[in-house]
Amino acid sequence: MFSSKFLWYTTNLNLVQIEHVMEQTVKERIMEFIRCEKIPVYRFEKACGISNGYIRSVNKTPGSDKISKILSAYPNLNPNWLLTGEGSMLIDSDGSEQSIGNITGNK
């Protein structure tokens, strides 16, 4: 009986985690990318040619001009993931998505 409750709890927890990922805003995905890159927000903004403080001031989604600047400055950032949350965060230089193991350095 314990194992069936545990499985139910685990299944519901996974659904909550999946729903959270799908509800993430573009701003939240940008912040996740910045954390993954281990750079300060101001350095990210500077590399993108975005004014200091812009990312933190955006409500949910930056304008298309800012998105374009971000993708130009970080060509390894997956545009599909950034805009929709689907797929991997990063892409290889050949355009294929990187797996989690590749991102963390564990192959």
pTM (2 d.p.):
0.68
Cβ(83)–Cβ(30) below 8 Å: no
Paired tokens of 54: 């812009």
97 confidence band (pLDDT: 50, 70, 90): low
Q: Residue 99's pLDDT is what?
A: 54
Is 91 in contact with 98 (CB distance < 8 Å)?
yes
* Coil, strand or helix at 77: strand
The 10s digit of each residue's pLDDT in 44-76 is 999 999 999 999 999 888 999 999 999 999 999
Query: pLDDT at position 51, please?
Result: 95
